[in-house]
Amino acid sequence: MRIFANPNYNFIKWRWHALILSVAIIWTGVAMMYLRGGLPLGVDFSGGTTMVVQFAKPTSEDVVRKALDPVSADKVVQKYGPAAQNEIMIRLPMMKGQEEGTNLEAGVNQVTEALNAANVGSFTIPSKELVGPVVGADLKQKGIYATLFALAGILVYVAFRFRFTFALGAIVAAFHDILITLVFLSWFHYELSLNIIAAILTITGYSVNDTIVVFDRVRENQRLMRREPLDQIVNKSVNQTLGRTVITSGCTLLAVLALFLFGGEVLRGFAFTMLVGVITGTYSTVFIAAAIAIILSRRPPSQAAVPAQVRAKRA
One-letter amino acid at 160 equals F
In degrees and rounded to multiples of 5, residue 266 shows phi and psi of -65, -40
Average pLDDT in the 86-105 region?
67
Q: What is the mean pLDDT of the chain?
A: 79
Lowest mean pLDDT of 128-132, 166-170, 254-258, name the range: 128-132
DSSP, collapsed to helix, strand or coil, labels residue 236 as helix
The pLDDT of residue 299: 47
Please tell me what DSSP assigns to residue 47: -
Most confident of 163-167, 178-182, 294-298, 299-303: 178-182
Specify the CATH class of 12-38+136-309 in words. Answer: mainly alpha
Lowest mean pLDDT of 8-22, 32-46, 130-144, name the range: 130-144
DSSP, collapsed to helix, strand or coil, labels residue 55 as strand
Give the Cα separation of 221 and 270 in Å (integer). 38
pLDDT at 109 over 70: yes
- 194-230 pLDDT, tens per residue? 888 888 888 888 888 888 888 888 888 888 887 888 8
Give the Cα separation of 75 and 6 in Å (integer). 52
- 233-252 pLDDT, tens per residue? 888 888 888 888 888 888 88
Report helix angle 164-187 to 290-297, nearest 10. Answer: 140
pLDDT at 157 over 80: no
67 close to 118: Cβ distance less than 8 angstroms:
yes
Give the Cα separation of 262 and 267 in Å (integer). 9
Specify the CATH class of 48-131 in words. Answer: alpha beta
CA angle at 299 for the pair 297 and 300, rounded to the nearest 5°: 130
The pLDDT of residue 130: 72
Please, what's the b/e burial string for 93-117 (b: 16 or more CB within 10 A of its CB; e: otherwise)? bbeeebeeeeebeebbebbeebbee
Q: 12-38+136-309 and 48-131 share one CATH topology?
A: no
Helices (H) and strands (E) in the chain, counts: 12, 4
Give the Cα separation of 301 and 124 in Å (integer). 72
Contacts of 290 (CB under 8 A, 6+ apart): 11, 12, 15, 169, 214, 234, 235, 238
Taking the CA atoms of 259, 260, 263 and 266 in sequence, report the sign of the dihedral they define: positive
Domain boundaries, the chain: 12-38+136-309, 48-131
**Per-residue confidence band for 136, with pLDDT thresholds at 50, 70 and 90:** low
CA angle at 174 for the pair 169 and 179, rounded to the nearest 5°: 125
**Per-residue confidence band for 275, with pLDDT thresholds at 50, 70 and 90:** very high
pTM value is 0.72
Lowest mean pLDDT of 35-44, 82-91, 133-142, 182-191, name the range: 133-142
**Per-residue confidence band for 276, with pLDDT thresholds at 50, 70 and 90:** very high
Average pLDDT in the 263-275 region?
84
**Per-residue confidence band for 291, with pLDDT thresholds at 50, 70 and 90:** confident
Give the Cα separation of 79 and 144 in Å (integer). 27
